[in-house]
Amino acid sequence: MLFADEELSQQVASVIAQIRKRNATVSVAESLTGGLLAAAFVAVPGVSDIFCGGAVTYTNEMKIKVLGVDSELLACGGAVQAEVAAQMASGIAKLYGTEFAIATTGVAGPGASAGKAAGTVFIGVKTPDAVTVCEYHFSGDRQQVRMQSVAAAISLIFTEIVSK
């Protein structure tokens, strides 16, 4: 098992079941999580019927080129902001043609970046009806912030799917 956290694995399985129940698909766009979110999905056997793929767009250039994030938005406020997470989620959903999408952007640490404290994270979730973005402030080292971001992303999409 990729993730030692059994609760996280169960949450991922629940998200997959909810998406499958809707005959829908999901994709992910990642920055600070660097592929961990996609890995959480593909750790579940049989997920290929609902998980279409993802993109790790670590640089602003790739956020623009791959996901269609507004270059002026990135130039003005940097990658760590709510609207960037929203555009990343919408961009990956469009790229893969999925009904659901999750995006992560933030500062994993160890120090601040572009005026944002380490642990500042924005997670965007696109559903067929809307895009929701939540801001988080995690603590811990770089890996802990990244893992907390994955757990928060899974929790957020589950909440968005179940509430719709």
- Output the pTM of the full model: 0.95
Q: Sorting pLDDT into bands at 50, 70 and 90, what band is 7?
A: confident
* Pairing outcome for strands 26-30 and 120-126: unpaired
Place of tokens 């579940």: 44
Q: Is the pLDDT of residue 64 over 50?
A: yes
- What is the C-alpha to C-alpha distance for residues 127 and 74, in angstroms, rounded to an integer? 24
Surface-to-core class of residue 17, CB atoms within 10 Å of its CB (0-12 exposed, 13-18 middle, 19+ buried): middle
Structure tokens of 85? 């997470």
Taking the C-alpha atoms of residue 156 and residue 164, their distance in angstroms, rounded to an integer, is 12
% of the chain at pLDDT higher than 70: 97
Please count the other Cβ atoms lying within 10 Å of the Cβ belonging to residue 90: 19
Contacts for 87 with CB less than 8 Å, ≥ 6 apart: 63, 67, 68, 69, 70, 73, 124
Percent of the chain with pLDDT strictly greater than 90: 91
Q: What is the pLDDT of residue 1?
A: 40
pLDDT, tens only, 101-156: 999 999 999 999 988 999 999 999 999 999 999 999 999 999 999 999 999 999 99
Mean pLDDT over 84-91 rounds to 98
